[in-house]
Chains A and B, each alone.
Chain A
Amino acid sequence: MALEKLTLGKALTAGLRAAMDRDPKVVLIGEDIGKLGGVFRITEGLQKDFGEDRVIDSPLAESGIVGTAVGMALRGYRPVCEIQFDGFVFPAFDQIVSQVAKLHARSAGTVKMPMVIRIPFGGGIGSPEHHSESPEAYFAHTAGLRVVSCSNPEDAYWMIQQAIECDDPVIFCEPKRRYHDRAEFELGGEAPRELFSANVVREGEDVTLLAYGPTIRTCLEAANAAAEEGTAIEVIDLRTLSPLDTETILASARKTGRVVITHEAQSFLGMGSEIAAMLHEELFYDLEAPVVRVGGANIPYPPSRMEEHFLPDLDRILDGVDRALAY
């Protein structure tokens, strides 16, 4: 085992490679994932090493990608679908929520759906419409699916392998604007934590700040800034959106009494809404303040020259923290 310094994107590549090395039933399918290595190059080099049978360039049809992956899973394969951009997952939405999510239940448990659907998600990269969305709550709302998101290279490396090993279908949300974030970690060995667990990435006593994916880095920057003013923010990387790691969330909320949750997705009926409801039900007497949501505006994702106004940034997150502290 050696320490490697990898970007989040290359950590995903390394994780996919490790999963494919370990299990010949793992196959990748998606648009442009072969010679090109995907538009984000996450599968770069994999077709050359594993062949066209295992790294499958698909026709341009997202429902077709997911629907044929269902069939491959029924035949004993473990397909990993790449959806090119978040906004392109919707042609596959029917297959995901009506078939992928329900087959295990429909078959009374006789059919497993060990499938991963990778979705580069979120904004902040100056893209045109449909290239910056955060659709995770649609999937977290759907029983039968599991939904996770990585925020750093080490998690990316491990979580993609754990998602592939999971016998249930996993929606794997990759923070595309963090693909080039770099970190040093050990390749190989044991995964540092379970897939369906949150991670306290910074401890603090005053306010709990919950986030996942691309906003984790922003939250850590916010925590640094707040520390200079004497506020100790505890930052929790949720990592798993379904199932939620309620134990970790509740323990921190019980300690601080104040919770802010942030995500790029529109706040209305977003992950923050569910977590706020859960916290109020479970910890009504322990909370010092209402749970604060800092999310994307409740509009269609705006043209990119305006996206900085849409996305939660350091200032908006700190404003949310201030609101939680005002009580």
Chain B
Amino acid sequence: MSDTDVAATGGIPAGLDAARPDPGDGGPDMIQLLTPEGVRIPNSDYDRYLEDLTPDDLRGLYRDLVLVRRLDAEGWSLQRQGELGLWPSLLGQEAAQVGSGRALKPQDHCFPTYREHGVAWCRGVDPLSPLLMWRGVTNGGWDPAEHNFHLYTIVIGSQALHATGYAMGVTKDGRVGTGDPERDTAVIAYFGDGASSQGDVNEAFVFAASYNAPLVFFCQNNQWAISEPVSRQTRIPLYQRARGFGFPGVRVDGNDVLACLALTRHNLDEARSGNGPLFIEAFTYRMGAHTTADDPTKYRFSAEVERWKHRDPILRYKTWLAREGHADSAYFEQVDKEADEFAAELRQRCVTTPDPGGETMWEHVYSQPHPVMEAEKAAYDDYIASFEEEN
């Protein structure tokens, strides 16, 4: 599109570049089991990973999608009301997170970014936990071993190496390729298109390949790293990067919960069997801003967002569920009602959480005594006590 053409279309504000290459529909290699219109596409490779799903399971995925979107909306609103310092929205990425999150077995371990509220939900992490982190009450604060869900990692891509080392540990523990489905363990590392440029992520690819780590790299390509389009990060589709590191990569429709579930199940099975690492690129879209502090109108066109609205992960799945007779309007209304109650309770728990006292700052810096730090804490206590004496 030349500048003249742009002028002719009359729409581009000064200072914005011409349209970036359209992220498009993911191309012919993208695996999709459910079209944006809610039409099921049979797939001889992956349908078997969905065969065991009962109507209850299928409805459960819908419930997950709706509750996760509602959790996200609460986070956004609470920030706008001054109750959270910041909130990174997952809007648009619900299917990628629920599909992959529900593919995990209890013994599998997850390494999230800071946006994986949907995966946290699937793992059973209290949804209040991420809210309290973004409220500034904690820096995470949950026990990763409780739900096999690691702490959120804010520095982009660092967790890919942690996941790799953890997976190397799984191998050392003899939990790979034994054939026992309750014993064999996989690890999943979440990251985004922006993180694919980080050294740590590329080092993780090298280490994971070198040690055959039972690891699935799950990249949610949401097309934008704050203001930078994926074309700034890569010349080739991200899933093709895996080949250069010596392991398989696949692109899945990240807005298709069934495809995300099926492909992640397959890849996790492969990892548990000793065929790791593997790479999944979930092709999706960040419908909202990067965080509550971001303004996407400065760097992308609303037409692009509008196009992706037609690929909404919840709408297509709801359409399919209804058409197949797995759920009816009464069910959908019931889930909406549950979401309202869920949100109200969550909001209440969030806003009534008190700020931690200053004296608790020193509590978990070290696990063993550190006299220099303890002296500082004692001086702080004396300082606080001096006000009480004055009064």
Contact = CB atoms under 8 A, between A and B. Distances in A.
A143 interface: yes
Given A104-B366, A110-B143, A72 B373 contact: no
A75 B199 contact: no
Which of A71, A99, A108, A167 lies at the interface centre, i.e. has the most chain B CB atoms within 10 A of its CB?
Answer: A71
Interface string A43-75: 000000000010000110101101111111111
B145 interface: yes
9 smallest CB-CB distances across A and B, nearest first, come from A71-B165, A67-B161, A75-B169, A68-B165, A110-B143, A64-B203, A71-B166, A109-B364, A243-B372
Which of A66, A68, A104, A112 lies at the interface centre, i.e. has the most chain B CB atoms within 10 A of its CB?
Answer: A68
A143 B145 CA distance: 24
A98 interface: yes
Given A71-B163, A243-B372, A244-B372, A95 B169 contact: no
A103 interface: yes
26 contacts: A61-B199, A61-B206, A63-B161, A63-B203, A64-B161, A67-B160, A67-B200, A67-B204, A71-B161, A71-B166, A74-B150, A74-B169, A75-B173, A79-B165, A95-B158, A104-B365, A104-B367, A105-B139, A106-B141, A110-B142, A110-B146, A167-B367, A168-B366, A242-B370, A242-B372, A246-B371
A68 B151 contact: no
Contacts of B371: 243, 246-247
Contact of A106 (B151, B164, B368): B151
Contact of A74 (B144, B155, B368, B372): B144
A76 interface: yes
B172 A53 contact: yes
A306 interface: no
Interface residues of A, number: 47
A72 B169 contact: yes
B155 A99 contact: yes
A167 B368 contact: yes
Which of A72, A106, A109, A243 lies at the interface centre, i.e. has the most chain B CB atoms within 10 A of its CB?
Answer: A106
Contacts of A95: 158, 161, 200
B353 to A, nearest CB: 14
B138 interface: yes
Contacts of A146: 366, 370
B207 interface: yes
Given A67-B164, A74-B169, A243-B372, 14 more contacts: A58-B207, A63-B161, A64-B204, A67-B158, A68-B207, A72-B169, A74-B162, A75-B168, A75-B173, A105-B365, A106-B151, A110-B142, A146-B366, A243-B370
Contacts of A110: 142-146
B184 to A, nearest CB: 15
A34 interface: no
B170 interface: yes
A139 B44 CA distance: 55
Interface in A90-126: 91, 94-95, 98-99, 102-112
